[in-house]
């Protein structure tokens, strides 16, 4: 008998085992049994032949409809052409010099056909495919009828590899299942009963060889639960452990910089900001590190929440760092914080010894430093010295800060802004920067669907800002057909109108220049041969300046510009010295120019839903209403067009985040660490398994509360260990 960890060679023989290892990376019985079918075919069921893509390696179930042999025109030999169909569509199979196969491939026979899809004269075909015929009902058993014996009514179709046909995998699976000693079930009986989950052994059998769709659904549910549960156990355990780490307490003081700052704040904090402020203040005062996620719509005022937390830490003698995803945003944050703090901050280098040191709270001010990758060497040295000496109480920087030799005197708080993929491993890297684990606040404006929050940020506590500060203006969004001249004229006229009354505009392009490799690092526009190249800032800006926007002051901003120039452009725009800023998505996050009222997004269909929502959050930040024009040549009714219409129809970030999730691969959403875990998340879908994930979460909390280290549940502990191990391995590889 075999167990899940038995090497495949013991069960299948060395040759087959080696082939499975080579083609599919499977080494043990467990690997094979957790290699799930992609789908199931049913005889008579319509396989969707119309969905076949040229170049795909496919396995289809179809019936022979026509057979024809003809001599080749250009060379010697003959060609056997077999037309197979599923009732609606047909597919041509071609076999070179194999006329004898006519005897097998008789009209009316059903079979599985596997090969790579090619196209010839507009017709989809498989050249020389592998095939397995099913027996005719009522006919005496033939050599290949065994296929049904082990396949049953629902024929599993495995992710195919050219040299490893689906039915070979199916046959190996059957052998493995037959020799498998039923594995012990890591899920406690009571938990299974509560959630109506079938046993592990049954689930592993039925996911491969279901006797009915119901059996298959039950198997899937159980195995999906396992995935969600293992993940949640890991995260909840992490959270529980972290809650016990020691941290320096940073209690609030009534006579420090924070109090002075609050007293002079130019506006009233919203109730939400006050509530978040309380949560954070309490966390910081505890002897354990805060791990908190602050979610809030674009413009909900997260920055001031972060600043108040940072000041609380400064007041207690520690340092705080604010990390931004781009240099533009870091520079802007630095400026913004300096403006908010006024003379409560000193932004220059620390004075020489003996003079009043920067950040001495006795002086009622804190040092505020900017550290980015592009700082000139001398300035960088000075900033690093201030950070090491502790005179820079607040440090603003890009993530590069993490990876360069920065030493803090007493790092008490790390704030991470606008980085919704800031996963577990980056948080680990940060922790190493302090002698004691620092408090961590992660901020995001991208609303996160609950399931993603539970998975990606499952080890964080969550605070939300749901209201926007009063006086915020509405944003109207419209989709503009880019190939209709009249509409485009009207678009540029709107920009001119806004500028005429003293406002400013953004024009966003997917690319920097025409060169197809010319992309800003943080952009996602996929290469697509069939469409014209996406519009680039470098071409669009001069065209506008000489054409429809002639006479306006037009500037350019891309990730390619040297940091000081980027900064200069942003400053000029913020100061109103430019009317129109043509930019890539570098302005996606955080850029805050309240006087900007129009945004035109060119080739809008090249952007994701969340990205568009983020972008439009750049307008309507002042007292005048915002206008966002999504220009696209996408055909009406095309999915791209529908996506844009959806963005135009709502400003509900959570609704849009869900829409976005529907359209992206989950690996993208989960980010590095979690995509490493993908090998353990085969079935789980963040979108369709939301309920199951929530159930798994609740169970995980219950189990970990009672038994943090899982000593009572050795099998569960093992599952978790595997997951964490893999996570580690991934992380180390990258580091
Ligand atoms: P986000 O949450 O998108 O990071 P910001 O922190 O950049 O938002 O805030 C957006 C704008 O709202 C800023 O100009 C900020 O000064 C302003 N703001 C923040 N809080 C308030 C408030 N309570 N009342 C009025 N304006 C506010
Ligand atoms: Mg922000």
* 114-127 residue pLDDT tens: 888 888 887 889 98
pLDDT at 675: 37
What are the DSSP calls for 485-540, one per residue?
Answer: HHHHHHHHHHHHHHHHTT-EEEEE-SBSSSSTT---TT------TTSPPPPBHHHH
Task: Please answer whether residues 1 and 181 qualify as being in contact, where contact means their C-beta atoms are separated by less than 8 angstroms.
Answer: yes
Ligand 1 within 6 A of CB of 307: no
Return residues with CB closer than 5 A to ligand 2 (ion). Answer: 590
What are the DSSP calls for 588-613, one per residue?
Answer: SSS---TTEEEEEETTGGGS-HHHHH
Specify the residue with its C-alpha closest to ligand 1, atom 15: 301
Hey, which of 261, 264, 297, 303 would you mutate to test ligand 1's pocket, going by the most ligand atoms within 8 Å of its Cβ?
303
Task: Please answer whether residues 311 and 460 qualify as being in contact, where contact means their C-beta atoms are separated by less than 8 angstroms.
Answer: no
Phi–psi pair at 140, nearest 5 degrees: -65, 150
Arithmetic mean of pLDDT, 144-169: 70
* 379-432 residue pLDDT tens: 889 999 999 999 999 999 987 776 667 888 999 999 988 765 555 566 666 666
Query: What is the rounded CA–CA span in Å between residue 493 and residue 489?
Result: 6
Ligand 1 within 6 A of CB of 361: no
The percentage of residues in the chain with a pLDDT greater than 70, rounded to a whole number, is: 81
Question: Ligand 1: distance of its center to the CA of 592 in Å?
Answer: 9
User: Which residue segments constitute the domains of the chain, with CATH numbers given?
Assistant: 9-183 (2.40.50.140), 261-465 (3.40.50.300), 475-650 (3.40.50.300)
Task: Please answer whether residues 79 and 177 qualify as being in contact, where contact means their C-beta atoms are separated by less than 8 angstroms.
Answer: no
Q: How far is CA 416 from CA 287, 293, 325, 333, 679, in A?
A: 21, 9, 8, 12, 28
Ligand whose nearest atom lies closest to the CA of 303:
1
Question: Ligand 1: distance of its center to the CA of 301 in Å?
Answer: 3
* 263-302 residue pLDDT tens: 999 889 999 999 999 999 999 999 999 989 898 877 788 9
Ligand whose nearest atom lies closest to the CA of 336:
1
Q: For the chain, what's the residue count?
A: 735
Query: Which atom, in ligand 1's list, is nearest to the CA of 303?
Result: 6
Residue 239 half-sphere exposure toward CB, CA atoms < 13 A: 23
Residue 27 has pLDDT above 60, yes or no: yes
Question: Ligand 2: distance of its center to the CA of 614 in Å?
Answer: 10
Q: Using pLDDT thresholds of 50, 70 and 90, give the confidence band for residue 17.
A: very high
Count CB-CB contacts under 10 A for residue 641. 19
Ligand whose nearest atom lies closest to the CA of 265:
1
Query: What is the rounded CA–CA span in Å between residue 561 and residue 82?
Result: 59
Residue 456 has pLDDT above 60, yes or no: yes
**Cα four-point dihedral sign 448, 187, 209, 26:** positive
The kind and range of the H/E element at 110 are strand 110-120
* 205-235 residue pLDDT tens: 999 999 888 999 999 999 999 988 988 898 8
* 520-572 residue pLDDT tens: 543 333 444 456 788 999 999 999 999 999 999 999 998 888 878 888 898 99
Strands 110-120, 130-133: pairing kind: antiparallel
Arithmetic mean of pLDDT, 707-721: 88
Ligand whose nearest atom lies closest to the CA of 416:
2
Query: What is the rounded CA–CA span in Å between residue 349 and residue 367?
Result: 8
Residue 670 has pLDDT above 90, yes or no: no
Arithmetic mean of pLDDT, 24-53: 80
Q: What angle do CA 323, 326, 329 make, to 5 degrees?
A: 75
Query: Which atom, in ligand 1's list, is nearest to the CA of 298?
Result: 3
Count CB-CB contacts under 10 A for residue 465. 23
Residue 217's contacts (CB-CB under 8 Å, 6 or more residues apart) are: none
Task: Sort 385 into a burial class: Cβ within 10 Å, 0-12 / 13-18 / 19+.
Answer: middle
Q: Which residues pair with 582 in a beta bridge?
A: 507, 556
What are the DSSP calls for 115-139, one per residue?
Answer: EEEEEETTEEEEES-EEEEPPPTTS
**Mean pLDDT, the chain, as a whole number?**
82
pLDDT at 117: 87
Count CB-CB contacts under 10 A for residue 249. 14
Q: Where are the alpha helices (DSSP H) in 180-293?
A: 189-194, 200-208, 213-242, 257-264, 271-285
Query: What is the rounded CA–CA span in Å between residue 679 and residue 677?
Result: 5
Residue 159 has pLDDT above 60, yes or no: yes
Q: How far is CA 98 from CA 60, 70, 75, 165, in A?
A: 21, 11, 15, 20
73: DSSP letter: S
Hey, which of 309, 330, 342, 469 would you mutate to test ligand 1's pocket, going by the most ligand atoms within 8 Å of its Cβ?
469
Task: Please answer whether residues 174 and 150 qualify as being in contact, where contact means their C-beta atoms are separated by less than 8 angstroms.
Answer: yes
Strands 154-157, 39-42: pairing kind: antiparallel
């Amino acid at each position: 008998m075999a167990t899940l960890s038995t090497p495949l060679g013991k069960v299948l023989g060395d040759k087959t085992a080696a082939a499975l290892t080579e083609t599919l990376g499977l080494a043990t019985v467990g690997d094979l049994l957790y290699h799930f079918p992609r789908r199931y075919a049913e005889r008579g069921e319509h396989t969707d032949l119309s969905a076949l893509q040229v170049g795909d390696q496919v396995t289809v179930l179809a019936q022979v409809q026509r057979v024809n042999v003809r001599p080749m025109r250009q060379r010697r030999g003959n060609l056997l052409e077999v037309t197979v169909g599923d009732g609606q569509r047909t597919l041509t199979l071609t076999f070179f010099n194999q006329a004898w196969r006519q005897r097998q491939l008789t009209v009316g026979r059903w079979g599985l056909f596997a090969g790579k899809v090619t196209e010839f004269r507009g017709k989809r075909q498989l050249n020389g495919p592998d095939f397995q015929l099913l027996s005719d009902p009522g006919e005496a058993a033939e050599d290949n009828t065994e296929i049904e014996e082990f396949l049953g009514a629902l024929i599993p179709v495995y992710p195919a590899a050219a040299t490893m046909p689906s039915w070979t995998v199916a046959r190996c699976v059957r052998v493995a299942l037959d020799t498998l000693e039923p594995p012990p079930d890591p899920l406690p009986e009571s938990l299974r009963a509560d959630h109506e989950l079938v046993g592990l052994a049954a689930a592993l059998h039925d996911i491969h060889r279901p006797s009915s769709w119901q059996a298959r659904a039950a198997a899937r549910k159980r195995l999906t639960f396992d995935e969600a549960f293992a993940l949640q156990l890991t995260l909840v355990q992490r959270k529980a452990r972290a809650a016990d780490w020691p941290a320096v307490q940073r209690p609030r003081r009534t006579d420090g910089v924070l109090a002075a700052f609050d007293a002079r704040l130019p506006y009233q904090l919203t109730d939400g900001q006050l509530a978040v402020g309380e949560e954070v203040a309490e966390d910081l005062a505890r002897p354990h590190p805060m791990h908190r996620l602050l979610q809030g719509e674009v413009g909900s005022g997260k920055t001031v929440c972060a600043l108040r937390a940072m000041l609380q830490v400064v007041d207690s003698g520690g340092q705080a760092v604010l990390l931004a995803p781009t240099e533009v945003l870091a520079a802007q944050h630095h400026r913004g914080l300096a403006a908010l703090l006024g003379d409560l901050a000193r932004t220059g280098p620390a004075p020489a010894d003996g003079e009043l040191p920067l950040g001495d709270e006795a002086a009622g001010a804190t040092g505020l430093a900017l550290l980015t990758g592009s700082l000139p060497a001398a300035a960088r040295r000075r900033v690093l010295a201030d950070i090491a000496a502790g005179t820079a109480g607040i440090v603003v920087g890009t993530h590069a800060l993490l990876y360069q030799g920065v030493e803090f005197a007493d790092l008490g708080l790390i704030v991470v802004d606008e980085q919704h993929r800031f996963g577990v491993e980056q948080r680990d890297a940060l922790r190493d920067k302090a002698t004691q684990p620092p408090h961590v606040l992660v901020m995001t404006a991208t609303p996160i669907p609950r399931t993603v929050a539970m998975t990606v940020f499952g080890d964080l506590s969550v605070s939300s800002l749901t209201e926007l500060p009063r006086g915020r203006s509405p944003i109207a969004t419209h989709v503009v057909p880019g190939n209709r001249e009249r509409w485009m004229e009207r678009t540029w006229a709107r920009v001119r109108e806004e500028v005429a009354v003293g406002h400013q505009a953004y024009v966003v392009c997917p690319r920097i220049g025409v060169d197809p490799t010319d992309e800003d690092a943080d952009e996602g526009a996929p290469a697509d041969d069939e469409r014209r190249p996406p519009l680039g800032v470098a071409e669009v800006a001069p065209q506008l300046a000489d054409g429809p926007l002639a006479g306006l002051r037009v500037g350019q901003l891309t990730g390619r510009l040297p940091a000081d120039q980027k900064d200069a452009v942003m400053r000029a725009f913020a100061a109103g010295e430019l009317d129109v800023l043509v930019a890539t998505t570098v302005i996606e996050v955080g850029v805050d120019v309240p006087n900007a009222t129009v945004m035109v997004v060119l080739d809008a269909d090249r952007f994701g839903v969340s990205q568009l929502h983020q972008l439009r959050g750049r307008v309507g930040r002042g007292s005048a209403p915002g206008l966002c024009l999504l220009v696209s040549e996408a055909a009406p009714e095309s999915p791209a067009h529908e996506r844009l219409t959806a963005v135009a129809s709502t400003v509900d970030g959570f609704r849009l985040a869900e829409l976005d999730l529907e359209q992206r691969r989950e690996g993208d959403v989960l980010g590095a660490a979690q995509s490493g875990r993908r090998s353990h998340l085969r079935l789980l879908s963040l979108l369709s398994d939301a309920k199951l994930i929530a159930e798994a979460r609740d169970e995980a909390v219950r189990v970990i509360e009672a038994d943090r280290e899982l000593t009572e549940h050795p099998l569960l502990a093992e599952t978790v260990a595997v997951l964490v191990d893999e996570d580690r391995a991934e992380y180390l590889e990258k580091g």
